[in-house]
A and B are shown apart, each in its own frame.
Chain A
Amino acid sequence: MMPLLEVSGLTVLRGDHPVVSNLSFAIGPGECVGLIGPNGAGKTTLLRAALGLLPHQGRSNISDLAIGTRARHAAWMPQTREIAWPIDVEAVIALGRTPWLPRGGSLRPDDRAAVERALSHMDLAPYRRRAANQLSGGEQARVLIARALAQETPLLMADEPIAGLDPAAQIATMQVFGQIAAEGKAVVVSLHDLGLAARHCTRILMLDHGQLVADGPPAEVLTPARLAEVFALRAYYQTGPDGPIFQPLEYLR
């Protein structure tokens, strides 16, 4: 099957120092991939370089595309959540349709339908007329996730999309990601909540000091040895009748 995201030998230098070095992996349809790693591991750099937003060495199939095609292939939710003007929620989400609009044209019925789907995915319909930049931080994050969903690309990449959301919204968002992956798309999200990663991701990439240290299903990646090595954590991790349950227990240093 054709991978939706394929990087090989991806390296990003800051000065002479590699922030991520020689990363290679491919992500195909149906995968919901969690990108994990401690602060400064290079998660954001990897995602931005793969998208072609950062100068890099090595290849990324997305970065190779022409900028207009790229935006129809991959949606991106940056970690910095910026909504500069008091634009209403619906209009912010509609910005996700930008790559699909004809030159100089406005939203067509298909675009409006995509905006409605995104609104309902993130339970934002009651907010549609509110000024987006006056909502709470978590609500703004949901609006921006919906904006990325409205782009309806085969690949969705999001940098810490669930940080700052309330517990219910975190689970709801991960379920939406799982659902769009199950529809045959691919999702790559960086996140710090290893419990949610263990429960909702089909695959986990673990990054440490710019290196890919593990890649596989959650149960294979989140081993006690790696958690101790990379995160300095001891954790409880069992799969029971309620599915996989992961709970960090103590800091090991």
Chain B
Amino acid sequence: MTRLMLLLTLGVLALFSASMLIGPAPVGVGDSLRALFTDTGEPMTLVMREIRLPRAVLAVITGASLGMSGAAMQGYLRNPLAEPGLIGVSSSAALGAVIALQTGAAAAFTLALPLAALGTALIGVMLVMVLAGPRGASLTLILAGIAISALAGALLSLVLNLSPNPFATSEIVFWMMGSLADRSMVHVWLALPLSLFGWILLGSLGRGLDALTLGEDAAGALGIRLPRLRLTLVVGTACVVGAATAVAGAIGFVGLVVPHILRPFVGARPSRLVFASGLGGAALVLAADIAVRLILPDRDLKLGVVMALIGAPLFLHLIYKTRKEFA
């Protein structure tokens, strides 16, 4: 367990460093580092501090958020196919972002898009909580999440449908593919506090998620406060996924695949999986964001697209393995 965490931490550090050293500016390792740590007054300092650093930091934040919330959601629902988007946060956030793009607010003011995304994510989650009710089983939460996702999806299509010009439409479509390119430290400062808060909430769920292995009734009789557990899970997920979607767009598969890959290495314990998946998610998004820049450096390949290209085959592999287990 500790060895796995150490390995994952080392992996994240290595990938973070690699991410800092990759970009269109042809600068050596030594010069890059010097530019990062000392203000030489050269443009390279600006490149390192204002372009590559926020990009790498945001990869860590979004990856960790998606991994942790995916593991927590799977643990809560006791279903390996659950993912953080299930409670409607990502689609609600996407709706806000698309409205900001469509109305031109995003072009007028950098933070308009992430703030609009966070706002609609909040509204979406509040609706889900009201629909699911204060008591009640996990099933009502899923149903409420699906309903709100569908509603947000429909409204998003409506915005696209009514889009006045093809440029706005293509901008929206590209945004929805998810990317970490051209982000600034402002995005980091927007996403970090919310994400930190969400990580603390999700990290506090461990004991309850472990007890839920035995079902809701048994967990309740073990002293787990299920309504509070669910509230913590939903608010935590809303914070981290809302923040991640607001700054990076829709990035799928991380929350689904990472917990699945790491589960055997933590003895399948949900509490341990949450932390391991945070590190694993950070590593996966860093790696994918490096791949984006290496494969087609001049074509602005979208992170969400690469992630789906990596994630879908992994998922197929999982299905194949599961099929063998149940055969």
The answer to whether the Cβ of A177 comes within 8 Å of any Cβ in the partner chain is no
CB-defined interface of B193-229 with A at 8 Å, one 1/0 digit per residue?
A: 0000000000000010011111101101111110000
The answer, among A71, A83, A101, for a CB contact under 8 Å with B221, is: A71
A86→B268 CA distance, assembly (Å): 6
A78 engages B207 (CB within 8 Å): no
A90-98, A168-176, A213-221: which lies at the interface: A90-98
Chain A, Cβ-Cβ closest to B263 = A85
The answer to whether the Cβ of A249 comes within 8 Å of any Cβ in the partner chain is no
Which residues of A have CB within 8 Å of B268? 85-87, 131
Which residues of A have CB within 8 Å of B223? 67-68, 70-72, 98-99
The answer, among B220, B222, B269, for a CB contact under 8 Å with A91, is: B269
A76 engages B263 (CB within 8 Å): no
B207 engages A85 (CB within 8 Å): no
Which label, helix, strand, loop or mixed, suits the secondary structure of the A interface? Answer: mixed
Which residues of B have CB within 8 Å of A92? 213-214
The answer to whether the Cβ of A88 comes within 8 Å of any Cβ in the partner chain is yes
B213 engages A85 (CB within 8 Å): yes
A83→B211 CA distance, assembly (Å): 10
B263 engages A82 (CB within 8 Å): no
Query: How far, in Å, is A114 (CB) from chain B's closest CB?
Result: 14
Tell me which residues from 97 to 130 in chain A have a Cβ below 8 Å from any Cβ of chain B: 98-99, 101
Chain A CB count within 10 A is highest, among B207, B225, B263, for B207
Which residues of B have CB within 8 Å of A85? 78, 213, 263, 268-270
B214 engages A95 (CB within 8 Å): yes
A73→B140 CA distance, assembly (Å): 30
The answer to whether the Cβ of A147 comes within 8 Å of any Cβ in the partner chain is yes
A51 engages B221 (CB within 8 Å): yes
The answer to whether the Cβ of A36 comes within 8 Å of any Cβ in the partner chain is no
CB-defined interface of A36-73 with B at 8 Å, one 1/0 digit per residue?
A: 00000000000010010100000000000001101110
A74 engages B221 (CB within 8 Å): yes
CB-defined interface of B55-77 with A at 8 Å, one 1/0 digit per residue?
A: 00000000000000000000000
* Residue total for B at the interface (Cβ-Cβ under 8 A): 22
The answer to whether the Cβ of A84 comes within 8 Å of any Cβ in the partner chain is yes
B224 engages A98 (CB within 8 Å): yes
The answer, among A67, A75, A80, for a CB contact under 8 Å with B225, is: A67
* Residue total for A at the interface (Cβ-Cβ under 8 A): 32
CB-defined interface of B260-271 with A at 8 Å, one 1/0 digit per residue?
A: 000110011110
The answer, among B212, B222, B263, for a CB contact under 8 Å with A99, is: B222
A229→B78 CA distance, assembly (Å): 43
B221 engages A95 (CB within 8 Å): no
CB-defined interface of B112-137 with A at 8 Å, one 1/0 digit per residue?
A: 00000000000000000000000000
Which residues of A have CB within 8 Å of B207? 98, 101
Q: How many A-B residue pairs have CB under 8 A?
A: 76
Known: A84-B78, A85-B268. A48 touches B222 (CB 8 A): no
A87 engages B213 (CB within 8 Å): yes
Known: A53-B217, A84-B212. A71 touches B267 (CB 8 A): no
The answer to whether the Cβ of A20 comes within 8 Å of any Cβ in the partner chain is no
Which residues of B have CB within 8 Å of A151? 222
A76→B207 CA distance, assembly (Å): 18
A147→B217 CA distance, assembly (Å): 14
Chain B CB count within 10 A is highest, among A76, A84, A86, A99, for A84
A80 engages B269 (CB within 8 Å): no
Which residues of A have CB within 8 Å of B224? 67, 98
B211 engages A78 (CB within 8 Å): no
Chain B, Cβ-Cβ closest to A85 = B268
Chain A, Cβ-Cβ closest to B273 = A85
A92→B213 CA distance, assembly (Å): 8
A70→B222 CA distance, assembly (Å): 8
The answer to whether the Cβ of A77 comes within 8 Å of any Cβ in the partner chain is yes
A87→B222 CA distance, assembly (Å): 18
B269 engages A82 (CB within 8 Å): no
B217 engages A78 (CB within 8 Å): yes
The answer, among A53, A70, A83, A87, for a CB contact under 8 Å with B267, is: A87
Query: How far, in Å, is B205 (CB) from chain A's closest CB?
Result: 12
Which residues of A have CB within 8 Å of B215? 78, 80, 82, 84
Known: A53-B220, A98-B224. A88 touches B214 (CB 8 A): no
A residues lining the B interface (CB < 8 Å): 48, 51, 53, 67-68, 70-72, 74-78, 80, 82-88, 91-92, 95-96, 98-99, 101, 131, 144, 147, 151
Which 4 pairs between the two chains have the least Cβ-Cβ distance? A71-B223, A76-B221, A84-B78, A82-B215
Known: A78-B215, A84-B214, A95-B210. 13 other contacts (CB 8 A): A53-B221, A67-B220, A67-B224, A71-B222, A78-B221, A82-B215, A85-B78, A85-B269, A87-B268, A91-B269, A92-B214, A96-B222, A144-B214
B residues lining the A interface (CB < 8 Å): 78, 207, 210-215, 217-218, 220-225, 263-264, 267-270
Q: Give me 20 A-to-B residue pairs in the complex whose CB atoms sit less than 8 angstroms apart, sorted by A's number.
A: A51-B221, A53-B217, A67-B223, A67-B225, A71-B221, A76-B218, A78-B218, A82-B78, A82-B214, A84-B78, A84-B215, A85-B270, A87-B213, A87-B267, A88-B267, A91-B267, A92-B213, A95-B213, A95-B214, A151-B222
